[in-house]
Structure 1
Amino acid sequence: MSTSRTEASTVTRKPLRDVRGFWRILLAVIAPLPMLSNGIYYLLSPTEGNAPFEENVAAAIAHGDRMSALEWIQVPFVTLLIPAAFAVAWVARRGAPRLTTAGALIALTGFCAGLGNLPGTVSLANLTVKEGLDPGTVSKLSTALQEHPIMQLSGLLFILGITFGLLLLGIALWRSRVAPAWMGIALAVGGFTHPFLPNHVIAGIGLLVAAVGFTGATYALLRMRNDDFDLPAK
């Protein structure tokens, strides 16, 4: 009796909906967005990335609307950077498994540590101006946060993720041959050079180059069949 019931339920069971195409297209769309948004952020920023708190407060006074807009512009970077890196790793993993594994471990560890612990898109300097807070007190808070060991370790891991993680993922994308070689090179160069560029405008251009590199994952995902992307539902 139990066997016949099992057979009947197996026969009448509806097939599961295949959502592989949804995830494939979603990752393809996401891939270039984080670096694109961060590149625009750097290009439009009125200060350098390592500017002292007092300079950022002065910028918030002089360019309040722009500083508020920049907070929103950077949201895709902190929200989508991890799935974007995952998209590159997913398309490159078969053609360059060891390089992809090493790059993904460094990049994703750094991104999880940095985005999980470092201050987000909301600027303390901008909040100080908008809310009428005491600049001296908030400056001490900003310094204390920067000097906290968790923040320093997270910042170091994040930089390693951006530089060496994306460098290896870019090389893996190149070696895997799932996208044009120049896209992998753009990802490797755009990520690795970011901390060493002299000012925020050039740094922004470098991040846009990295965004072009991330479109290598977009290219590969859009050309990929669902069966090559993942196994079907059971």
Structure 2
Amino acid sequence: MSQVQTTAPRGDIRTASRWFGALILPIGPAAIALLRYLLPYDTVDDPATITSKMLAHPGRASLVLWLAFVGVLTLVPGAYFVARLIRQRAPLLTALSLLLVVPGYLALPWMTSTDIFTWSGGQAGLDAASITRVAEATHGSVGVAGVVFVVGHVLGTVLLGSALWRSRMVPRWAAVATAISQPIHFIAAIILVSHTLDLVGWGLQAAGFAAVGWVILRLRDDEWEPLP
């Protein structure tokens, strides 16, 4: 007669996995929220204006690049942990959201490449006109990455918030906050051009993801990942 295992096997990392997921979830959106608030230029500025504003504020531009680096490292794992929690309750919406947000987040390094060059050019003592000419001659993949990023992270996050709502595993406010966060970001970045509103938009996603993390922390290990 087989015995039921009542203790976790050696090497069980399920508790560590839950804690890691809960802690990393809000970091990416929070980092981008601060980035968008501190950005020394507006998204709708032309290359010459962007260059002049970045050269005028090199310290802030450097901090923005560090925040972007944090986002690159944490946004995709955060989306994975959200999906892991809700995929059985809302499989289709979860899958569709990941198909959009993951490529969108992975395009972020391409989006920051021009800013990295602009900052580096300023530190190297290049004049603003030369930096602008190079910035205007970016590779075509940067433009494609921009489309992938905008469509992926805006529409994908709306679907992810909808999946959270459908799953009924998180508070309703967290699902709504996630769903509306990136439309608010888009309005703030392109239409109203408000860094404060942009902070609110990404901050709502950070708050929604933090709520998801709290739910993950409260799960038992067997609920998070049953033993075979």
TM more than 0.5 = yes
Partner residue in 1 for 2:156? 165
CA distance in 1, matches of 2:82, 2:42: 29
1:130 aligns with 2:148: no
CA contact (8 A) 2:51 2:131 kept: no
Aligned length: 216
- The unaligned stretches of length 5 or more in structure 2 are 1-8
Partner residue in 2 for 1:23? 17
Q: 1:206 offset after TM fit, Å?
A: 0.9
CA distance in 2, matches of 1:59, 1:157: 26
Partner residue in 1 for 2:172? 181
Partner residue in 1 for 2:212? 217
Report the residue type matching 2:92 in the other structure: R
Alpha-carbon distance change, 118 to 128 in structure 1, aligned in 2, over 3 angstroms: same
TM-score (norm 1): 0.84
Q: 1:121 offset after TM fit, Å?
A: 8.9
CA distance in 2, matches of 1:82, 1:50: 26
Partner residue in 2 for 1:37? 31
Deviation readout 1:54-113 (Å, 9 max, x if unpaired):
22332234322222222223322121110111111111112111111111111113223x
Deviation readout 1:179-213 (Å, 9 max, x if unpaired):
10110110010023322222222112211111112
- The unaligned stretches of length 5 or more in structure 1 are 1-14
Identity %: 28
CA distance in 1, matches of 2:124, 2:196: 29
Q: Over alpha carbons, which structure has the higher Rg?
A: 1
CA distance in 2, matches of 1:46, 1:118: 15
Q: 1:120 offset after TM fit, Å?
A: 4.5
**C-alpha RMSD over aligned residues:** 2.0
Report the residue type matching 2:199 in the other structure: G
CA contact (8 A) 1:43 1:205 kept: no
TM-score (norm 2): 0.86
Alpha-carbon distance change, 140 to 62 in structure 1, aligned in 2, over 3 angstroms: closer
Deviates more, 1:176-185 or 1:59-68: 59-68
Alpha-carbon distance change, 40 to 173 in structure 1, aligned in 2, over 3 angstroms: same
CA distance in 1, matches of 2:14, 2:97: 25
